[in-house]
A and B are shown apart, each in its own frame.
Chain A
Amino acid sequence: MSAEDTHSSSVEVAARVERRWAIIAVIIISGMALLAAFAGIHQATMPQPRVETTDPSRIHLSGEFVESNLGSVLEANGNVTVRAIGQQYSFTPACIVVPVDTPITLRATSADVVHGILIQGTNVNTMLVPGYISEQLMRFGKTGDYLMPCQEFCSFGHEGMWGKVKVIDKAEFANRAKSGGRLSCVGQ
Chain B
Amino acid sequence: MLVNRKLILAHFWFAFAVFGVALTLGAWQMFIRSPIGTWLSNPELYYRSLTAHGTVMGYVFPTLVAMGFGYAISESALEQRLVGVRWAWTGFWLIVIGSIMAVIPIALGRASVLYTFYPPLIGNLFYYLGVVLVVVGSWIWVALMSINLRVWRKAHPGAAVPLAMYANVAGSYLWAWTAVGAALELLLQIIPVAAGLKNTIDAGLARIFFSWTLHAIVYFWLMPTYIAYYTIVPRAIGGRVYSDSMARISFILFLVVAMPIGIHHTFADPQVGAGFKFIHSAFTALVALPTLLTVFTICASVEIAARLRGGRGVFGWIRALPWDNPMMLALAFSFVMLGFGGAGGLINMSYQLDASIHNTQWITGHFHLIFGGAIVIMYFAIAYDLWPHLTGRELIDVRLIRTQLWLWFVGMIVTTFPWHWVGILGMPRRMAYFDFGDPAIAPQALSVTFSAIGGFILLTSGIMFIVILARGMRAPLAEAGAYRFAVAVHQPTTVPVALNTHALWVALMIALTITNYGYPILNLATTAGTSVPAVYVGAQ
Contacts and interface: CB of A to CB of B under 8 A. Distances in A.
B529 A151 contact: no
A37 B274 CA distance: 11
Given A14-B242, A29-B286, A159-B432, A47 B351 contact: yes
B296 A135 contact: no
Interface string A8-39: 00010011011001100110110011001101
Contacts of A55: 529, 532
B441 A113 contact: no
Contacts of A97: none
Contact of B359 (A40, A45, A125, A131): A125
B147 interface: no
B456 interface: no
Interface string B268-311: 11111110011001100110110011001100100000000000
Nearest to A20: B296
Interface string A99-116: 000000000010011101
Q: How large is the interface on B (under 10, 10 to 19, 20 to 34, 35 or more residues)?
A: 35 or more
Nearest to B433: A159
A17 B242 CA distance: 11
A147 B441 contact: yes
Contacts of A53: 527, 529-530
B21 to A, nearest CB: 21
Contacts of A121: 425-426
Contact of A11 (B296, B360, B435, B490): B490
Contacts of B202: 131
Contact of A153 (B118, B207, B297, B300): B118
Interface string B176-205: 000000000000000000000000001110
A55 B278 CA distance: 27
A129 B7 CA distance: 44
A37 B532 contact: no
B108 to A, nearest CB: 14
A130 interface: yes
A51 interface: yes
Interface string B516-529: 00000000000101
Chain A interface mostly: mixed
B162 interface: no
B78 interface: no
B397 interface: no
Contact of A131 (B292, B490, B531): B531
Contact of A51 (B271, B289, B529): B271
Contact of A21 (B207, B282, B293): B293
A158 B432 contact: yes
Contacts of A135: 270
A70 interface: no
B359 A132 contact: no
A18 B268 contact: no
Nearest to A57: B533
Contacts, number: 206
Contact of B426 (A126, A130, A147): A147
B355 A29 contact: no
B289 A18 contact: no
Contacts of B242: 14, 18
B356 interface: yes
A157 interface: yes
B446 interface: no
A98 interface: no
Given A37-B278, A125-B268, A129-B207, A159 B43 contact: yes
B431 interface: yes
A129 B293 contact: no
A29 B342 CA distance: 13
A49 interface: yes
B268 A132 contact: no
A151 B270 CA distance: 15
A50 B440 CA distance: 34
B246 interface: yes
B112 interface: yes
B537 interface: yes
Nearest to A53: B530
Given A18-B246, A113-B535, A130-B120, A155 B112 contact: yes
B11 interface: no
B47 interface: yes
Interface in A152-172: 152-160, 162
A88 B196 CA distance: 23
A113 B118 contact: yes
Nearest to A35: B350
Given A36-B351, A113-B535, A126-B270, A152 B359 contact: yes
B269 A127 contact: yes
Looking at B112, B118, B434, the one whose CB has the most chain A CB atoms below 10 A away is B118
Interface of A: 11, 14-15, 17-18, 21-22, 25-26, 28-29, 32-33, 36-37, 39-40, 45-53, 55-57, 88, 109, 112-114, 116, 118-135, 145, 147, 149-160, 162
20 contacts: A14-B490, A18-B243, A21-B296, A26-B289, A28-B288, A33-B282, A37-B278, A40-B352, A46-B274, A47-B277, A51-B270, A53-B530, A55-B532, A126-B268, A131-B204, A132-B271, A147-B440, A149-B426, A152-B359, A158-B431
Interface of B: 43-44, 46-47, 112, 114, 118, 120-121, 202-204, 207, 242-243, 246, 266-274, 277-278, 281-282, 285-286, 288-289, 292-293, 296-297, 300, 346, 350-352, 354-356, 358-360, 425-426, 428-435, 438, 440-441, 489-490, 527, 529-533, 535, 537, 540
Given A25-B288, A112-B120, A159-B434, 20 more contacts: A14-B242, A18-B243, A39-B352, A48-B270, A50-B273, A50-B274, A51-B273, A51-B527, A119-B426, A120-B426, A121-B425, A125-B355, A126-B268, A132-B269, A150-B428, A152-B118, A153-B118, A155-B537, A159-B431, A159-B433
